[in-house]
């Protein structure tokens, strides 16, 4: 049967359901950074924070200037960045496992499925804080802490950090860096 719609109107395209990325975490993870869901550039690259305007990797490099991030063209730079991240006591994941979304904005996320944080059980025995990279992630802080609670003694802190997204233009790079530095210092990572 042909697509039938009112004269002069266009059919509404189906929303795409996207699958997120796996967690990056290990025994040395002290701070788990949780985003909401990867943007379009990250999903295409299958890499966290792949958009060149996102401040995530720039902030981390500024926090540890004596330990440069692996440069592009040196083997598998993303795998090396993940190892670099783990060596600093950090882990990385997102609140959502999958969702429907057009574009990359958190406000466009629909029908999201939250990740099963119990999957981290036993993987992060030193976990002390969950750092939410932005408001959408932080909205789920109570549920994340409940699911992590049984595996974390003492209890884990939840911290809302300013989003590193280019959409968060109200915070300068310097303000974002200061907030992220405060958290890392509080957990002995700087």
Considering the domain boundaries, does residue 10 fall inside one?
no
Alpha helices in the chain (DSSP H): 40-45, 56-63, 77-87, 135-138, 141-148, 173-186
Helix, strand and coil percent figures for the chain, each rounded to 5: 30, 20, 50
Considering the domain boundaries, does residue 83 fall inside one?
yes
Enclosing domain of residue 93 = 19-186
Considering the domain boundaries, does residue 157 fall inside one?
yes
Give the tens place of pLDDT for each residue, 151-174.
666 678 899 999 999 889 899 999
Most confident of 60-64, 77-81, 114-118: 60-64
CA nearest neighbour of 127 among 26, 57, 56, 47? 26
Catalytic amino acids?
A: 54
Considering the domain boundaries, does residue 160 fall inside one?
yes
- Could you tell me which residue, 1 or 11, shows the higher pLDDT? 11
Q: How far apart are alpha carbons 87 and 61 in whole angstroms? A: 13
Average pLDDT, the chain: 86
CB contact at 8 A, 96 and 115: yes
Considering the domain boundaries, does residue 13 fall inside one?
no
Total number of domains in the chain: 1
Considering the domain boundaries, does residue 1 fall inside one?
no
What CATH number corresponds to the domain at position 52?
A: 3.40.470.10
């Amino acid at each position: 049967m042909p697509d039938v719609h009112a004269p002069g109107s266009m059919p509404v395209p189906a929303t795409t359901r996207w699958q997120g990325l796996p967690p990056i975490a290990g025994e040395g993870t002290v701070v788990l950074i949780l985003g909401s869901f990867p943007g379009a550039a990250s999903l295409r690259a299958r890499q966290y924070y792949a958009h060149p305007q996102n401040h995530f990797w720039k902030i981390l490099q500024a926090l540890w200037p004596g330990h440069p991030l692996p440069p592009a063209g040196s083997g598998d730079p993303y795998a090396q960045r993940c190892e670099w991240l783990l060596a600093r006591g950090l882990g990385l994941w997102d609140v959502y496992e999958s969702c429907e979304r057009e574009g990359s904005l958190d406000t466009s996320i629909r029908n999201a499925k939250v990740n099963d944080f119990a999957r981290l059980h036993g993987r992060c025995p030193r976990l002390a804080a969950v750092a939410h990279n932005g408001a959408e992630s932080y909205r789920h802080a109570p549920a994340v802490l409940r699911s992590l609670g049984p595996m974390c003694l003492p209890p884990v802190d939840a911290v809302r950090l300013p989003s590193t997204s280019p959409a968060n233009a109200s915070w300068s790079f310097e303000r974002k860096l200061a907030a992220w530095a405060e958290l890392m210092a509080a957990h002995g990572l700087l």
